[in-house]
Amino acid sequence: MKEYILITGASSGIGYEMAHQLAEKAHNLILVARTESKLKQMQTALTKKYGVLIHYYVADLSDPNVARDLHKKIKDENLLVTHLVNNAGVGNYGHFTETSLDEELDMIHLNISSLVVLTKLFAQDMVKRRSGRIMNIGSVVSFLPMPYFSVYSATKAFVLAFSDTLAAELEGTGVTILSLYPGTVDTAFTTSEMQTTNLHKTKPMHPEIVAEYGVKHLLEGHGKKVIGLQNWFNSKLPNFVPASIMMKIKKNLASQK
């Protein structure tokens, strides 16, 4: 049976770059995103350039039931998923009392609920085979929750706690749980951050570079990986700086200029 790597949020940003880099390494892929035209274009281009097998599914994972259906469709088509990359995610910026409740509920469903659904269902399959790797994409705000990114930060803090604890649970099963933590990435999401103090101090990393770290970690790594020395240092600050002072620093960084 042919083996596949499943990537959610595959049509742009980190997911798009990972798909290209994994195809170049001769891995067959299952791509998931909301826009069929982009997925179809990727399927054609990657198949032609690298000769790999590409399947795609159009899915809006802001509905966890869609995540359940996705797993069923893949199983029904007898596609063997050996690696899962939970990359799909969204964020927003602003004062919590002024941001959209509906958008934030969709964010929670996408960044948390569907990630849990896919991880549970595919992990169950992998445990039965005693083999598999699942990588969840977090953020440096998983370690440093930021004011004005309150719900987004909370969803990424969940990714950290969930990934670490699940990795411990699955030790000895043959299934490896990984997590990846980039800092600011040059994607559409950074548009809302462009006027914050933080973005003026930190140059966003190109998705291609983040994907290089991601591909290596997915295929060879263990545990969690924070990308970049500065981000690694920042992730450790809460261990040394008092919480009240740390929050003041973070509020200043996240404030608009």
Residues annotated as part of the active site: 152, 156
Cβ atoms within 10 Å, residue 235 = 20
The secondary element (H helix, E strand) that includes residue 189 is none
On whether the CB atoms of residues 180 and 214 are closer than 8 A, the answer is yes
Instruction: Determine the Cα–Cα distance for residues 109 and 114; give it in Å rounded to an integer.
Output: 6
Instruction: Determine the Cα–Cα distance for residues 31 and 109; give it in Å rounded to an integer.
Output: 19
Instruction: Determine the Cα–Cα distance for residues 62 and 166; give it in Å rounded to an integer.
Output: 22
Cα distances from 199 to residues 20, 68, 165, in angstroms, run 27, 37, 31
List 176's β-bridge partners, or say none.
133
